[in-house]
Each structure stands twice: as structure tokens, then as C-alpha cells.
């Protein structure tokens, strides 16, 4: 209990296990983002008020909305807009937000390399990204049970960023992606009509590509949960679910190095594969193992050839630490 009450920098709390997961990290990050966003106000009492407002706003209940709708953002609240003239947006503010964004993203990627970034954390990183002025599209994990077959344009933009980083890489080859074609698709703009009334909120060509890769026919509305999940998975593969954006646009460079993160991802794959063998309903664990495998391939793709070969050569040693059925999988 005393250890859990410890006050220390985030990387120390993650390394010591006080912050044991990306989900717990996401619960702490709003406090830091509140201080960062409030720091742009000129008046000290107003900074304190805006920080408190941000923290209170983040305590609200979040909702999953249909048809790419989203909940209101903190900066859109009328009482926040009323004091917008007191908010600075100069280079100093942008640089500070960028430094905080990069630091928090590095803590998450370094601390939990095999874990999908949870939506609450992505949301906070996106707040900082907007304040930096960077073209850094960050995407949420979508819910298969309410997915309506469409993606917002930021998914296509995130896939294009991934292509800039990963074209010709192990990641592209393993997943059979043609990132050059993805780039052309996003540069040319939509060739297919968006859904009626959607305006520019949908990326129909990106959605069509995800459906094609998943072997699913677009339904134009609600589909089956399994089919929806397959389409969403392809979107995550194409975009790397924010990893490429964080590396290529934000400049994330974890202290542990990409090779070490790849090794830890593979250890997670083995551990989760072993756990799934003993579960009556292992789907969630199998999905987590697939996420860890995908992120391992991403990390490996950022290593040079010799380093990646060394990591791959050492995987058998990790596999040997686990029961034989794990190695067979």
C-alpha cells in the first residue's frame, strides 16, 4: 500500500509496477494534460481554473456514439470559449505541448510495448497533438458491435503516415500491404461516394480497402460483429494503430530501443498464448496476443537488418521458457 502511494515520475512508476498497465497510465495522464493545456493561459488564477475544469470534464462518463459522431471536446465548452482570448498559441506553447506529447507517448510505448494504446490515452495524446499544430492523425479503437462500416478521414491519413514510415519494410511484407497504393488512394481523394449526408466525415476508399482485405462485403450499415471485427482489424493493421504516427510525426524514440521492445512483445505473445490454452473463452486473450505480435513486427521494422536478425535468432530461447504447445502455436 505504501508503494502504491509513491510519488515519482511516470517512467519510474511504470518501471516499478506501480502503474501496471496502459489503462492505469491513461487514468493518470489527464492530470498532466490539464496542467499542460492550462499553462497556455496568461493569468495564474485562470490557469488554475482551466486545469480544474479540464480534470472535472475528464471525469464525465464517456459514450460510444454511432455514425462517427463524437462527444464535445473541452475546448468547445462555452465557458472555455469565453476566455479563449486569454489563451496563448505561440511557438513556446506549441513546443511545450510537443514535448509533453512525446514524453507521454514514449512512456506508454516503452512501458507497454505489446499493448494497444487504450482509447482514453489516445484521446489525451490527441489533445496535445492538436495544440502542437502537428499533422499527427491519432485513431481510436472502434467497437465492433456498433461499427457501421465507415471510417473517418483521419484513418486514411494515419495509414498514409504509416506508409511513409514502413513502405518496403518487414511490416508491409508480412501483412501484404501495398503502401504505395495506399498513398495514391489518400492523395487522389475519394473515388467512391460517401454515405448520404456524411459530407467529408467518411473515407469511403479506405473503408473499401479494409473490407476487401477482410474479405467482407460493405453492408452500408450494421454488420455482424465478427465481420465488423475483421474490418476493424484491417484498419488497425494499415494504420499500425498510432505507432507510425507517434514515431514519424511526433518523434517518439523509446529509451529501451526498438529491438528490446520487440523482444518484450514476443514474450507477451508467448505468455498470452499459454494463458489462452487454459481459458474457456480465450478470444480476448487471443486478440491481445495478436496485438502484441503485430506491434512486435512494427518494432522489428524500425531495427536495422543485423539487429532485427539478432532479435529473431533469440526468439527460440524465449519460446523454450514456455510449455511445448506454446512453441507449436
| Per-residue pLDDT tens over the stretch 297-314 | 999 999 999 999 999 999
Q: CA neighbours within 13 Å on the CB side: how many for 68?
A: 20
User: Please, which pLDDT band fits residue 220 given cuts at 50, 70 and 90?
Assistant: low
| Res 28 pLDDT > 50 | yes
pLDDT digits (tens, 9 = 90+) for 124-180: 999 999 999 899 999 999 999 889 889 999 999 999 999 999 999 999 999 999 999
Please, which residues have CB within 8 angstroms of residue 282's CB and are 6 or more apart in sequence? 275, 276
Give the whole-angstrom CA distance, residue 169 versus residue 186.
20
Lowest mean pLDDT among 185-189, 280-284, 323-327: 185-189
Angle between helices 22-38 and 119-132 (to 10 degrees): 30
- CB of 180 closer than 8 Å to CB of 167: yes
User: What is the phi/psi pair of residue 41, to 5°?
Assistant: -85, 145
pLDDT digits (tens, 9 = 90+) for 45-92: 999 998 999 998 888 877 777 777 778 888 888 888 888 888 888 899
The length of the chain is 329
| Res 267 pLDDT > 90 | yes
| Res 194 pLDDT > 60 | no
pLDDT given at position 190: 53
Q: How high is the mean pLDDT of the chain?
A: 89
Q: Which residue has the cell 522489428?
A: 300
pLDDT given at position 221: 66
Other CB atoms within 10 A of residue 316 CB: 9
Other CB atoms within 10 A of residue 198 CB: 15
pLDDT given at position 75: 85
Q: What is the DSSP letter of 302?
A: T
Q: Which grid cell sits at 92?
A: 513556446
Q: What is the DSSP letter of 6?
A: -
Is residue 265 classed as helix, strand or coil in its secondary structure?
A: helix
**Prediction pTM value:** 0.89
Q: Which residue has the cell 495506399?
A: 182
Q: CA neighbours within 13 Å on the CB side: how many for 296?
A: 19
- CB of 168 closer than 8 Å to CB of 161: no
Amino acid at each position: 500500500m505504501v508503494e502504491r502511494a509513491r510519488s515519482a515520475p511516470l517512467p519510474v512508476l511504470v518501471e516499478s509496477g506501480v502503474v501496471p498497465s496502459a489503462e492505469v497510465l491513461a487514468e493518470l495522464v489527464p492530470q498532466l494534460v490539464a496542467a499542460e493545456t492550462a499553462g497556455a493561459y496568461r493569468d495564474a488564477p485562470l490557469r488554475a481554473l482551466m486545469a480544474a475544469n479540464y480534470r472535472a470534464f475528464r471525469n464525465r462518463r464517456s459514450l460510444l456514439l454511432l455514425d462517427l459522431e463524437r462527444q464535445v471536446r473541452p475546448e468547445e465548452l462555452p465557458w472555455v470559449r469565453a476566455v479563449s482570448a486569454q489563451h496563448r498559441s505561440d511557438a513556446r506553447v506549441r513546443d511545450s505541448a510537443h514535448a509533453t506529447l512525446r514524453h507521454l507517448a514514449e512512456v506508454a510505448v516503452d512501458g507497454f510495448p505489446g499493448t494497444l494504446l487504450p482509447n482514453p490515452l489516445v484521446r489525451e495524446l490527441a489533445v496535445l497533438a492538436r495544440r502542437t499544430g502537428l499533422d499527427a492523425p491519432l485513431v481510436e479503437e472502434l467497437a465492433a458491435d456498433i461499427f457501421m462500416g465507415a471510417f473517418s478521414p483521419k484513418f486514411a491519413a494515419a495509414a498514409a503516415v504509416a506508409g511513409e514510415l514502413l513502405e518496403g519494410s518487414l511490416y508491409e511484407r508480412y501483412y501484404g500491404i501495398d503502401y504505395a497504393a495506399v498513398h495514391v488512394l489518400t492523395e487522389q481523394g475519394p473515388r467512391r461516394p460517401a454515405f448520404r449526408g456524411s459530407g467529408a466525415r467518411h473515407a469511403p476508399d479506405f473503408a473499401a480497402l479494409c473490407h476487401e482485405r477482410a474479405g467482407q462485403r460493405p453492408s452500408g450499415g450494421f454488420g455482424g460483429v465478427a465481420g465488423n471485427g475483421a474490418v476493424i482489424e484491417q484498419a488497425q493493421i494499415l494504420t499500425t494503430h498510432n505507432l507510425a504516427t507517434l514515431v514519424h510525426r511526433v518523434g517518439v524514440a523509446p529509451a529501451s530501443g526498438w529491438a528490446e521492445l520487440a523482444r518484450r512483445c514476443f514474450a507477451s505473445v508467448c505468455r498470452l498464448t499459454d494463458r489462452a490454452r487454459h481459458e474457456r473463452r480465450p478470444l480476448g486473450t487471443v486478440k491481445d496476443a495478436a496485438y502484441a505480435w503485430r506491434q512486435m513486427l512494427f518494432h522489428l521494422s524500425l531495427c536495422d537488418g543485423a539487429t532485427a536478425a539478432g532479435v529473431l535468432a533469440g526468439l527460440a530461447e524465449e519460446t523454450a521458457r514456455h510449455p511445448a504447445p506454446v512453441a507449436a502455436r
